[in-house]
Amino acid sequence: MVLGADAGFMNPEKMLLCVVLAATCACILASMVAARAGRVPKIRRITGLEAVEEAVGRATEMGRPILFVPGIQDMDNPMTVAGITVLSRVAGTAARYDATLDVPVSRSLVMQAARESVQAAALQTGQPDWYDPERIRYITDEQFGYAAYAAGAMARDKPAACFYMGCFFAESLILAENGNAIGAIQIAGTAETAQLPFFVASCDYTLIGEEFFAASAYLSGAPDQLGTLRGQDIVKALIALVLVFGVVMATTDAFSPEPASEPTAEVAP
């Protein structure tokens, strides 16, 4: 299963990977095309995302800034990229309300991408002057150095709304507890499973795993993007079918008199 260790389609493991990969892409692409053609799926409510507008509005009313943290990993991490796409939506809303948006980042490349995306959002909303590159600034690559800054900045600037969207490790609770202490509305989204419990405990809304990746498509409201979400659901249904089939096979196997020829994954040889 090592990439490139035994390349080529002859290897059954590679074959399986190829089939699953192709099926996944095909489902998502087909739903996207169907949505473009007019079959736009109705997406269920994701409460955390409905609250974005409310949070930005509240910050504007109170005259306090909004804090957006796109995680502490670099652009090679899909969560960071997803966080940046959510940032562009949040920035659009903030520009409309003319609210102050602070984006401290912990990687130089992320700073670059965040600046581009916030500037684009400002232009789209017709508020090009709202964009201020100095508000999107690099702090440090060090996880806890960054957390030290964020904790101190929260205690001093008292943001009214905090967004944590990206890849987080132990600093998640430092951010969320300090945000809670200053009474901010907090919306978090991550696929880092170990940190989800802390966001769930300390934030007002948390986007869990796949919901987080769906966030930017959901917020964009564009038909083709919503179509990809339906595609994900179709793949999920296929996975469930395969799983049920596998379970039935394994169960009938258990009844067969002779012991299974090869040990299942769960049994240590």
Partner 1 sequence: MSGGLDRRWIYLGMMLAVALPILWNGMTGKTFPESPTPPSQACFDAIEALPEGSRVLVSFDYDPASEGELAPMATSFMRHLMHKRLKPVIIALWPLGPTKGEETISNVIKADFPDRVSGRDFVNLGFQTGNEGVLKVIGTDFRKQFPVDRSGMPVDRLPIMEGITKVGDFSLVITISAGYPGSKEWVQYVSSANPGLVLLAGVTGVQASQIYSYYPGQLRGMLAAIKGAAEYEALVSAVVDGDGVTPPRYTEARRRMAPQLFGHLVLIGLIVAGNAVYFSQRGRKAVAR
Partner 2 sequence: MSRSIALLICLMGGLTMLVSPFLPMATGWANDVTDWFNILAAMAFVLGGGSLLKVQLMRLSARGPGWGYSALTLLAFIVTLWVGLGKVGVVADPSAPTVAWSGKPDDEGSAFWWIYLYVMTPITSTLFAVLAFYVASAAFRAFRAKNVEATLLLATAFVILLGRTFAGVVLTGWLPDWASGLRLENLAVTIMDVFNTAGNRAIIIGIALGVASTGIRLMLGLDRSYLGGDA
Partner 3 sequence: MSSTTMEPSAPAQGKWWIGLFLVIAVLVAIRAGIGEGMGRAYVQTESTSYAAATDDQGRVTWSAVADGAAGSATIERDVFRTAGQYRAAEAASPNQQAIRFSWDRTIGLWLAAFFTLAVFSFLVGDNPAYKFTESIVIGVSAGYWMAVAFWETLVPKLVAQLAPGLVKAWCMPNLDAGAINLDALIPLGLGIMLLSQLTPLGRHVGRWPLAFVIGTFAGLKMISHVESDIIEQVRATMLPLVVFGDDGSFAAWASIRNLLIVAGVLCTLVYFVFSIEHKGPVGRAARVGVWFLMITFGSAFGFTVMGRIALLAARFEFLFIDWLWLIDPKGQRTMAAVSAAAELGSSLLNTI
**What part of residues 163-192 is at the interface with partner 1 (CB under 8 A)?**
169-170, 181
Q: Does 51 bind partner 2 (CB under 8 A)?
A: no
The correct pick among 2, 8, 134, 252 for binding partner 1 (CB under 8 A) is 2
The correct pick among 4, 9, 129, 251 for binding partner 3 (CB under 8 A) is 251
Residue carrying the six token digits 């652009």: 75
Q: Does 6 bind partner 3 (CB under 8 A)?
A: no
Contact string (CB under 8 A) for partner 1, positions 7-46, x = contact: ----------------------------------------
**Cα Rg of the chain (Å, integer):** 22
Instruction: Identify which of residues 133 and 263 has a Cβ nearer to partner 1 in the complex.
Output: 263
Contact string (CB under 8 A) for partner 3, positions 156-195, x = contact: x-----------------------xxxxx--------xx-
Footprint of partner 2 on residues 135-194 (CB under 8 A)?
137-145, 147-148, 170, 173-174, 176-177, 180, 191, 193
Q: Sheet with 205-208: list strands edge to edge.
A: 136-138, 101-105, 66-69, 161-165, 185-190, 205-208
What is the bridge-based pairing of β-strands 101-105 and 66-69? parallel
- The C-alpha angle 257, 263, 268, rounded to 5 degrees, equals 125
What is the bridge-based pairing of β-strands 66-69 and 136-138? unpaired
- Range in contact with partner 1 (rule: CB under 8 A) among 24-32, 97-105, 157-165, 261-269: 261-269
Q: Does 194 bind partner 1 (CB under 8 A)?
A: yes
The correct pick among 15, 222, 243, 263 for binding partner 3 (CB under 8 A) is 243
Q: Does 137 bind partner 3 (CB under 8 A)?
A: no
Residue carrying the six token digits 């739903």: 31
Q: Does 4 bind partner 1 (CB under 8 A)?
A: yes
225's enclosing H/E stretch is: helix 223-255
Question: Side chain identity at 86, as an amino acid letter?
Answer: V
CA pair distance 18, 136, nearest whole angstrom: 41
Q: Is the dihedral of CA 204, 210, 211, 213 positive or negative?
A: positive
Q: Does 193 bind partner 1 (CB under 8 A)?
A: yes
Q: Is the dihedral of CA 163, 167, 171, 173 positive or negative?
A: positive
Contact string (CB under 8 A) for partner 3, positions 94-133, x = contact: ---------------x--xx--x-----------------
- Cβ neighbours for 237, distance < 8 A, ≥ 6 positions apart: none
Binding site for partner 1 (CB under 8 A): 1-5, 144, 169-170, 181, 193-194, 265-269
